[in-house]
Amino acid sequence: MPATPAVPDGKRPTLADVAALAGVSTALVSIVMREAKGASAATRERVLEAAREIGYRPDSRARLLRSNRSRLLGVQFGLQHPFHTDLVEGIYAAAESAGYQVALSAVAPSRSERQAVETLLGDRCEALILLGPQAPAARLAELSAQLPVVSVVRRLRPPAAGVDVVRTADDEGARQAVDHLVALGHRDIAHVDGGKAPGAADRRRGYRTAMNRHGLAGRARVLPGGLTEEDGATAARALLDARPRPTAVLAFNDRCATGVLDAFLRARVPVPDEISVVGFDNSHLARLAHIDLTTVGQDASRLAELAVGRAVARLEGEKRSGTETVIAPHLVTRGTTAAPPEGIKPVVRD
């Protein structure tokens, strides 16, 4: 029965218990547990055996308290944001292979960003990775004076303040989507935007300049949207009544796009036959066979990797801060985009 608590008194076993059993000093046990050098193979085995026997498990608090490095990365994410969970997963992987641990702190309706960051700080994280933070730039700058801070999907206007930014080129993504649609023959392309969400402004701008470049400035239409399905659906209903009705819609988000899609389906407007839809994020949602959404891909695992990379670089002594790393998005063409319907196509300028 090797799985019993194993130490006589109810307490959790410590280094000292292992040391006593193995007949060595606590320091040596520490060496063995850390896999540091300074112990012979024979005693190493003996100590490990003793540890196993009494079910010893290192106390990370004490460990972190003593060592000047905590090797802990604090990650703040939005509980209800699917794209964040993709990022978190990537961060776990990247952190592990860089030899760091991850402390998670969620933001939810009942839990503010301030609270989330506060606990991370209390846990002695060495750096902060904030996914789409909404906090004012001044607050981020303040934090950044205490430890390395990486903002992941949120752009900061003046790259100052020492906050490192890792993000996708949102404007470029919007441009790619518009180019794709125009190449298919669309001219009346509407954009359902993301309001004040991180990245929304850039996508809006990218959409507008792309429309301009194609000489379609007059036909550009931006509808107030948001990041939920509901936002997309209400915007889509408005579009159905609009004259001329657009032949394509670029949504802020995959979630938003799903809402658009759903509203069109309910109104019996076939996609992509009558109208094309493009999303943004290439989330799990979009990949699903029955949604099969053309979307602008943000490479979550690459963003995660870069964010961790920046944080680690700063921790390992790199002085340069306030950098901005922008990665290129890439259009993923799937089933929700096609040429506009015949009846409308002739409108295309010769």
Partner DNA sequence: GGCCGATTCTAGAACGTTCTAGTCAGTCGT
Partner DNA sequence: ACGACTGACTAGAACGTTCTAGAATCGGCC
| Residue 196, phi-psi category: left (phi > 0), alpha (psi -120 to 50), beta (remainder) | alpha
- Single residue of 62, 160, 183, 265 touching DNA by CB under 7 A: 62
In sequence order, which residues have a C-beta less than 8 Å from that of residue 280 and are 6 or more positions away? 173, 174, 177, 203, 250, 251, 252, 253, 254, 257, 295, 296, 298
From the list 50-58, 174-182, 210-218, 235-243, the region that binds DNA by CB under 7 A is 50-58
For 8-18, give one letter per residue: b (16+ CB within 10 A) or e: eeeeebbbebb
Q: With CB under 8 A, what is the number of residues at the site for its own copies?
A: 54
What tokens appear for 141 in the block?
Answer: 């700058």
26 forms part of the interface with its own copies (CB under 8 A): no
Q: What is the DSSP string of 24-40?
A: S-HHHHHHHHHT-SSS-
Please give the Cα distance from 246 to 238 (Å, whole number).
11
Q: Which does 89 bind (CB under 5 to 8 A by kind): DNA, its own copies, none?
A: its own copies
Under a CB-based contact definition with an 8 Å cutoff, are residues 121 and 74 in contact?
yes
Q: Which does 53 bind (CB under 5 to 8 A by kind): DNA, its own copies, none?
A: none
From the list 22-30, 78-86, 211-219, 325-333, the region that binds its own copies by CB under 8 A is 78-86
Smallest gap from residue 296 Cβ to DNA (A): 45
100 forms part of the interface with DNA (CB under 7 A): no
- Single residue of 21, 50, 56, 297 touching DNA by CB under 7 A: 56
From the list 29-37, 110-118, 249-257, 298-306, the region that binds DNA by CB under 7 A is 29-37
Please give the Cα distance from 165 to 168 (Å, whole number).
10
- Single residue of 21, 39, 223, 344 touching DNA by CB under 7 A: 39
Bridge-based pairing of strands 149-151 and 248-251 is unpaired
Under a CB-based contact definition with an 8 Å cutoff, are residues 321 and 314 in contact?
yes
From the list 109-117, 178-186, 217-225, 242-250, the region that binds its own copies by CB under 8 A is 109-117
68 forms part of the interface with DNA (CB under 7 A): yes
CB closer to DNA out of 45 and 142: 45
Per CB under 8 A, residues contacting its own copies are: 3-5, 12, 55, 57-62, 64-65, 70, 79-80, 82, 85, 88-89, 92-93, 101, 103-106, 108-111, 119, 121-124, 142, 145-146, 228-230, 233, 259, 262-263, 265-266, 284-285, 288-291
